[in-house]
Amino acid sequence: MSTFRNVALIAHVDHGKTTLVDALLRHAGVFAAHETPLDRVLDSNDQERERGITILAKAVSVDWKGTRINLVDTPGHADFGGEVERALALVDGVLLLVDSAEGPMPQTRYVLGKALEKSLPAVVVVNKADRPDARSKEVVDEIYQLFFDLDADEDLIEFPIVSTIAHEGLAIAGIGIPTVGDDMSILLDTIVETIPAPTGDPEAPLQALVTNLDASDYLGRLAMGRVIQGTMRAGSGVTLLAESEERSVPRRKLGNLMGFEGLGRVDVVERSAGDLFVVAGFPEVGIGDTIADPDQPGRLPRLAVDEPVLRMTFGVNTSPLAGNDGRYLTYRQIRARLEREVLGNVSIRIGDTSSPEEIEVSGRGELQLAVLIESMRREGFEIQVSRPEVIIREMDGKRHEPTERARVDVPDEYVGAVTQAVGPRRGVVAELRPGDIGRTIVYLEAPARGLIGFRSLMLTATRGTAIINQQHAGWMPWAGELPHRNGGAIVSDRDGTSTGFALDNLQKRGVLFIGPGVTVYQGMIIGENSRTDDLPANPTKQKQLTNIRAAAADDAIKLKTPRQHTLETAIEWIGADELVEVTPSQIRVRKRHLSQSERRRLEKGL
């Protein structure tokens, strides 16, 4: 019997997956006595730490009573479903982690459904068992109901339950509250007893599936994945079976072979069927490729990933301020970066557009695309991006669009605001359910494009108290035109520097996005008009100097605090004829065509 187990942690956002991994690593002695363990060691990406979410699936390894347990941490957001798919291809079972108060959530359903499709057995972990509002028994009942709703096989519904307080490293079997002395041993023992050992004949011809890519300054591109059958040995000859013949390699010596140990990787002599590997020496390798025996090559099925539902364009920054901030400005550099992204991210697609300076990028959702844009700006890119559009499918001769299911947790007094906001967006309230004391959970279904910008709207309407989660819920017939924002754009009609005098007059016409002393250019959007039409304006106007002293009230200019756009709110706010200009230090919104005369000409169809 194999002396290792492969297990993935799946859960909704912020239910404690990564914190639980920290606790298991501490208990298994991965950290030396003199080391100060980092919190959330697996969230090593800057954006993961800032957003408090897991974006990339990662693996660590712990040794427990002679059994090596490979733990794969996965994202909870459906936007990163490609990462979830790849993680589940590596494992033989899952830890289903659920908050003791919140219970199963939309992304819990999403990732558990993916695991049950692969018939992976689960260990259910009820985390945060010490919460004052914990309702562990009801939550376990909801988990059973979720398994039934997802048509789980009978043998998969018989799962063990462990209650934990992950941030304190405590766990007990069954439902209850762990106390001092109830360490993580019971959870590690349950993993070894419940999750089956990997199958696969170590004596068969080699077949290994590549599920992830990484890079090393010393070794170049690294391929990570799982040995499905056979044994992978350092120094032996292998063949790479890629999607295309151009990338396939008939025979090559396997160079560096590594495995996971603790938080790092170590050189190993071999990896047998079921185990996880990291190899170097294949610059051509892509996700989904097969590393096989050159004498008996057999191709494995490629990873199947949910299709993208949103698309937007990434283009060269063409504003007058282009090149002042970033290092990577050209189409060639932007395309090369996106091609690298596609190699390592199977749920992102790129394609050509009618413009020689724009690339179409498709993904699973707003958050996934925003994370990609944020990564590029931090790397020094300057780009301009369009508003996301949904991808349309033809079904039975009719146009269909993606639909989303949303769960909105709000204080009771804001339930009306939620239902009123979703109506014009062609959404329906599917269910109302009581939440915590003084809160209500509203379940909605709406076209995906109707929920673009919905999160920001709800956070504003509820003064930041709403908790919103969304997931893809299939396809629906085209719902017709939907409303976007309420007001038009206040657009600068010239280049220059904004002045307090000019902005004082303009703030009476709408909401401003800038303050005084800001460099502006013709076509840059500086605010939202209170009316529906666009308003050309001069934000650089200075007060005329005369020898007549102004009244005191005239001297005191009081500007309201401008609305500062984040990357997400800017993408949601812009219209079809507008773009977001993204640089390492600035986020600006602008018209696609900067010249006012050109915009007028296009409106008239000339």
> Alpha-carbon distance 416 to 423, whole Å?
11
Sorting pLDDT into bands at 50, 70 and 90, what band is 54? very low
H helix or E strand, kind and range, residue 601 = helix 596-603
pLDDT at 254 over 50: yes
Strand 389-390 to strand 122-127: parallel, antiparallel, or no bridges (unpaired)?
A: unpaired
Q: Tell me the per-residue pLDDT of 145-190, one tens digit each, with 9 for 90 and over.
A: 888 888 888 888 889 999 999 888 888 999 989 888 888 899 999 9
Closest CA to 435 of 449, 418, 448: 418
Per 3-state DSSP, the chain is made up of helix, strand and coil in percentages (nearest 5) of: 25, 30, 45
Domain boundaries of the chain, sorted by first residue: 4-194, 207-292, 393-477
Report the helix count and the strand count for the chain, using DSSP H and E: 15, 35
For residues 264-269, average pLDDT: 83
Please say whether the beta carbons of 517 and 568 come within 8 A. no
Please say whether the beta carbons of 272 and 231 come within 8 A. yes
pLDDT at 294 over 70: yes
For residues 424-444, average pLDDT: 84
Sorting pLDDT into bands at 50, 70 and 90, what band is 123? very high
Residues whose CB is less than 8 angstroms from the CB of residue 331 and which lie 6 or more positions away in sequence, other chains included: 315, 316, 356, 357, 359
Q: Tell me the per-residue pLDDT of 452-466, one tens digit each, with 9 for 90 and over.
A: 777 777 877 887 778
3-state secondary structure of 411: strand
Q: Tell me the per-residue pLDDT of 470-511, one tens digit each, with 9 for 90 and over.
A: 777 788 898 888 777 778 899 999 999 999 989 998 988 999
Sorting pLDDT into bands at 50, 70 and 90, what band is 431? confident
Q: How far from each other are the two terminal CA atoms of the chain, in whole angstroms?
A: 75
pLDDT given for residue 106 in this prediction = 65
Residues whose CB is less than 8 angstroms from the CB of residue 63 and which lie 6 or more positions away in sequence, other chains included: 28, 69
Please say whether the beta carbons of 205 and 229 come within 8 A. yes
Per mean pLDDT, which range of 53-67, 121-135, 321-335, 537-551 is the poorest?
A: 53-67
> Alpha-carbon distance 246 to 237, whole Å?
19
What sections of 463-536 are H helices per DSSP? 500-506
CATH number of 393-477: 3.40.50.970, 3.40.50.1370, 3.30.70.240, 3.30.70.1060?
A: 3.30.70.240
> Alpha-carbon distance 199 to 2, whole Å?
9
Closest CA to 279 of 229, 342, 226, 242: 226
pLDDT given for residue 39 in this prediction = 41
Sorting pLDDT into bands at 50, 70 and 90, what band is 211? confident
pLDDT given for residue 48 in this prediction = 38
Q: Tell me the per-residue pLDDT of 215-240, one tens digit each, with 9 for 90 and over.
A: 666 777 778 888 999 999 888 888 88
**CATH 3.40.50.800 at 4-194, yes or no:** no
Strand 489-492 to strand 535-537: parallel, antiparallel, or no bridges (unpaired)?
A: parallel
- The partner residues of 395 in beta bridges, in order of sequence, read 398
Can you give the pTM of this predicted structure? 0.68
What sections of 473-592 are H helices per DSSP? 500-506, 552-555, 567-573
Domain 207-292: top CATH class: mainly beta
pLDDT at 80 over 50: no
Sorting pLDDT into bands at 50, 70 and 90, what band is 34? very low
